[in-house]
Structure 1
């Protein structure tokens, strides 16, 4: 009898590649059905039951009836993250409207929180649709996340990194996405093997960086993986996650 594979969905961005590399190289690969999607779609699939394991934006966690974080690794940052930023032609204080990237509610909630509590600047939020980056101009700024941010620092005069702002606001690192399961029957053996596979993927970063093409001529993959993305879900990040989720559950204005 063929054992049913566990359905897994993960973020499709560059920052997930080292983790996926570890999973695909491990013996677990035969026990997983792996799909990739933008963060918001990963959250939807996990919440709907279409996936039982997901690397999902942490803002979805309060909406899950039952869940468990199953890994010591995440998509996080301890300061500048480089690929979650507000861009604009004018300083933030002069922005009257900001597009909110529809790819991840975690980044949207973080932007709202920082604008309210850290920058203390009121703007009108605009729902972003495909192509919205071309409409960032004048006093209209935009939150952009993931691989689409690469090169935008050359296009827009003002860039506000949300990882940096959160660190300055709280003194804490940040967790953008975590490995979560909604399956209470996932075995401890599976979880241990899963964690080992992720660690081994990160251990092979030097080799992976040779295999992956850089998305832009002046984009340094090594610098991105080692100085901007912090994959350890350590005590500081768990504290930050608890603090951020308290904002989410309090119901920031939408």
Structure 2
């Protein structure tokens, strides 16, 4: 019986994602009718957006629908069922974002918003679209630093190099294991806009790829020793930070390094 239930949930989750994409293309959005449907929708993706609107005449509804059309890759649903509202602590019309990477829920209470427009809602959803592996850019940077998880594991790589994709897979395989503990961030070292990240870690383009940890609480950084980037080495590096061993080491600065 348990196996049948698990298989049903897996199929249902897949259908939820597919239906959501089709609905958005058709100008509508998936509607969640009960708690199991909401749970399946949230569980099926890394980031889920739900517009909790009592009616289509509610303040912000039209602006939300306009914003959704621009966020074609972001799973979005609507819900007016008060049973579901109670499940997630919703008391009034709200746009909520559910994230797995930092185990966080972000709620925008529309009654408290001074101004509501489509562009503003697009920005709200973009900033809060924090995935298991989030690519660093001007928009996502705001969400990363606003997260309650203040430790970032960075993969700084030249996206033009052929070995970048396997390295990303190492990242993606490990990220779920550290949900709520570390945010995994991909930094494209070939982008001029990311030059400050390389400078902060004392890196040059010739040094890439490298793995680093940034602690936003202590405002300190550490680089994983140069060498092959494997699942085992990255995991050991993460665990050494979480165990407090890495913090006992002197923070590495550009002046401390002789060769990377």
TM-score (norm 1): 0.23
Task: Give the TM-score, by structure 2 length.
Answer: 0.23
Q: Higher RCO, 1 or 2 (CA under 8 Å, sep at least 6)?
A: 1
